[in-house]
Chains A and B, each alone.
Chain A
Amino acid sequence: MRVESRKRDLYLGIGFLLFSIGVWIASLSIKHLVVARISSSFVPQLAATILGILSLILILQSVLSAPNDSSKVDVTSEQETESDAKRKQRVRLTFLLILLYLIFLEPIGFLITTALYLFFQFWVLSRRKPNLPLYGIIAVSTSVIIYYLFVKVFVLFLPAGILG
């Protein structure tokens, strides 16, 4: 377990180091005022430099503290239990649902998209046998209540979409 987290820190350190170099390169294209001593690229470059140094420390920490018998790595840790796969599946689906929700929010409109999103999200997150009719009722009513609450009471604008 600890070996695994050390290895992960090594990769993270390398990743963040590359990221900070990327930020440095991107910051070169920030325009400069000729008269200003400290330009707008100063702070991003400073921050990127510090991030780079911290990444190096992280890399060093993980390399130096690595035990000598590294041959034992990866013997037991790679076994994925069935519930592990299920969990990852739930995260992936949740992520996908939120993404679809945002994509279709404006073209289709708040009411329909929200009701659909809620219905499927309830389903994905439920651990026991899903109660689909109940989910449907909650999804539709929540969507309608939120829409009217925000549009009529709090006077916020929400995309009406095809119903508008």
Chain B
Amino acid sequence: MLEMFYVGFSQILALKPLILIFLGVGVGIIFGAIPGLTATMAVALFLPVTFGMHPVQGMALLIGLYIGGVSGGLISAILIKIPGTPSSIATTFDGYPMAQKGEAGKALGAGIFYSFLGGWFSFLVLFFIAPPLADIALKFGPPEYFSIAIFSLTLIASLSTGSTIKGLMSGIVGILLSCVGTAPIDAFPRFTFGFRELDGGFNLLPALVGLFAITEILKTAESDVEIKLENIANYKIKGFGFSAKEFMEQMGNFIRSSLIGTGIGILPGIGGGTSNILSYIAAKKMSKHPEKFGTGILDGVVASETANNASIGGALVPLLAMGIPGDTVTAMLLGGLMIHGLSPGPLLFTTSGDIVYGIFAALIVANFVMVLMEYFGIRFFVRLLKIPKHIMLPIIIVFCVVGAYGLNNRVFDAWSVMLFGVIGYVFEKWGFPLSPVILGFILGPIAETNLRRGLMMTQGNFLPFLTKPVSGIFLIIAVASVVYSVIKERKQRTQ
């Protein structure tokens, strides 16, 4: 393993990959800090740029964007009480009150420091879990992969906000959208209605950009409130703002939050957006002084910021070991690997070990870069928060169109961006969550291919999907998660 790390670092510690990591982390923090722009969008916009690069360099850029994007949210969460990304919602609970008490520097320092530590914790888990898990996954056949895909899909549908039924419907719509184009296995065209352009189906990138970026600009056009940035809290960072004693006091909180963050990250479909809130709630429940939460105490910031970064390493576990993306960003990373002809999954460790360990090395380096940039560049990032949204968003749209067009040099992809944008906008209006759409879009083909392969092997008999232990367990959990969330919803409604 050490040898492989040596190989990994030898690819990353060169001028070009390092520049790309710096660029990635910097842009990522900007996207993270500005409300409405997320890590997913940053990775989506930069994906086309990685086409011409060496795979490890391209991944270094995307990893930088991911880490920067998740941690950048704490800046606006603490200073203007608006979470830059869903990953730092819980940071506002105590971070902003701290800023109001004149402890903004302390909150920022602790946020940055614990983001770093949370990241590290999850990377160690990734380094030690992913390779053996890949070994196990090598023995998986089509039934197992089918069941894991279905499990992931139902989990995201039932855990996403709003009603479970609508979550499931979103997922199905995603699957149906992925059906457009040439079918897997026998390659018959489906739902192309005679349009040649549809033969290849919709690309993932326009789908993501449309669902997340266009939807956002349409929502901004609709909203009446403008973020008032005149009242950015005063801040001054000195050291990391907290003492060694406080560090020791936070140890238990740190470990618990890291575990929650990494665990949530590993579960398919949910990531930092969920883990920061769960970890905050857990910290409050376990605390000796729960009444102080929300008044501006260090514990809250530590819990939230540790957990969201700890989700990064977790989300990469199923991606690298099984080829199943853990959240929307890792779905993009999956796309980033596939454009270089690499298919993530258990074989990746044996066939392209150098790239896997290159990614590991990039994670470690990007995590250090994140601390440096956020710590020393905070003034610059805060200034960027003042750019008005009506200037920022149209420019983002142009980047979206450029990225989608650059994919295949055809306007068709730009049109699909628009189509997915409209779908995203109306779905949001109607209370349908968007993440299941995208996960359905990605997992649909994986589930279908493996279902049909499996049924070919068993001569059309579905029973082995249930009787094989791993496959059966995942299908049972899938059904249970839907039933559980439906029951929970009913209870809430009757209350």
Chain A residues within 8 Å of B, Cβ to Cβ: 5, 8-9, 12, 16, 23, 26-27, 30-31, 33, 36-44, 47-48, 50-51, 54-55, 57-58, 61, 65, 83, 87-88, 90-91, 93-95, 98-99, 101-102, 105-106, 110, 114, 117-118, 121-122, 124-127, 138, 142-143, 146, 150, 154-159
Residues in A whose Cβ lies below 8 Å from that of B189: 30
Given A98-B418, A121-B397: A54 in contact with B172 (beta carbons within 8 A): yes
The 5 closest A-B pairs by CB, nearest first: A125-B390, A40-B183, A156-B406, A121-B394, A90-B221
B126 at the interface (CB under 8 A from A): no
Known: A37-B459, A158-B405; 17 extra A-B contacts, CB below 8 A, are A38-B460, A40-B190, A43-B175, A43-B452, A44-B179, A47-B179, A87-B223, A87-B224, A94-B217, A94-B218, A102-B414, A114-B398, A125-B390, A138-B391, A150-B402, A154-B406, A159-B405
CA distance A115 to B459 in the complex (A): 59
CA distance A88 to B214 in the complex (A): 16
The secondary-structure label for the interface of chain A is helix
CA distance A143 to B409 in the complex (A): 18
Of B90-98, B161-169, B254-262, B292-300, the stretch lying at the interface with chain A is B161-169
Given A91-B222, A95-B218, A156-B48: A125 in contact with B393 (beta carbons within 8 A): yes
Once the chains bind, are A157 and B409 in contact (CB under 8 Å)? yes
Once the chains bind, are B222 and A87 in contact (CB under 8 Å)? yes
Residues in B whose Cβ lies below 8 Å from that of A5: 431
- Choice from A57, A106, A154, A158 contacting B52 with Cβ under 8 Å: A154
CB distance from A157 to the nearest CB of B (A): 5
CB distance from A60 to the nearest CB of B (A): 10
Residues in B whose Cβ lies below 8 Å from that of A61: 165
* Closest B residue by C-beta to A30: B190
- Choice from B169, B191, B401, B431 contacting A44 with Cβ under 8 Å: B191
Once the chains bind, are B179 and A50 in contact (CB under 8 Å)? no
Once the chains bind, are B448 and A12 in contact (CB under 8 Å)? no
* Closest B residue by C-beta to A118: B394
CB distance from A88 to the nearest CB of B (A): 8
| Chain B interface bracket (under 10, 10 to 19, 20 to 34, 35 or more) | 35 or more
B251 at the interface (CB under 8 A from A): no
CA distance A12 to B426 in the complex (A): 11
Once the chains bind, are B176 and A51 in contact (CB under 8 Å)? yes
- Choice from A16, A102, A124 contacting B415 with Cβ under 8 Å: A102
- Choice from B165, B176, B218, B452 contacting A38 with Cβ under 8 Å: B452
Once the chains bind, are B414 and A105 in contact (CB under 8 Å)? yes
Residues in A whose Cβ lies below 8 Å from that of B415: 102
Residues in A whose Cβ lies below 8 Å from that of B2: none
Once the chains bind, are B165 and A51 in contact (CB under 8 Å)? no
Residues in A whose Cβ lies below 8 Å from that of B186: 33, 36, 39-40
* Closest B residue by C-beta to A26: B191
Chain B residues within 8 Å of A, Cβ to Cβ: 48-49, 52, 165-166, 168-169, 172-173, 175-176, 179, 183, 185-186, 188-191, 193, 214, 217-218, 220-224, 226, 388-391, 393-395, 397-399, 401-402, 405-406, 409, 411, 414-415, 418, 421-422, 430-431, 444, 447-448, 451-452, 455-456, 459-460, 493
CA distance A31 to B224 in the complex (A): 50
CB distance from B143 to the nearest CB of A (A): 14
Once the chains bind, are B188 and A118 in contact (CB under 8 Å)? no
Given A58-B165, A102-B415, A156-B402: A44 in contact with B390 (beta carbons within 8 A): no
Can you name 14 A-B pairs with beta carbons within 8 Å?
A12-B430, A33-B188, A38-B452, A42-B452, A43-B451, A47-B172, A47-B176, A58-B166, A61-B165, A83-B224, A98-B421, A102-B415, A122-B391, A156-B406
CA distance A16 to B328 in the complex (A): 25
* Closest A residue by C-beta to B405: A158
CA distance A47 to B393 in the complex (A): 35
Residues in B whose Cβ lies below 8 Å from that of A33: 186, 188
CB distance from A47 to the nearest CB of B (A): 5
CA distance A16 to B432 in the complex (A): 12
CA distance A77 to B227 in the complex (A): 28
* Closest B residue by C-beta to A44: B179
CA distance A158 to B414 in the complex (A): 12
Once the chains bind, are B402 and A146 in contact (CB under 8 Å)? yes
Given A43-B179, A105-B401, A125-B221: A154 in contact with B452 (beta carbons within 8 A): no
Given A30-B183, A30-B188, A125-B221: A58 in contact with B169 (beta carbons within 8 A): yes
Residues in B whose Cβ lies below 8 Å from that of A83: 224
Residues in B whose Cβ lies below 8 Å from that of A41: 190
- Choice from B49, B173, B222, B411 contacting A51 with Cβ under 8 Å: B173
Once the chains bind, are B406 and A38 in contact (CB under 8 Å)? no
CA distance A37 to B452 in the complex (A): 9
- Choice from B221, B394, B414 contacting A117 with Cβ under 8 Å: B394
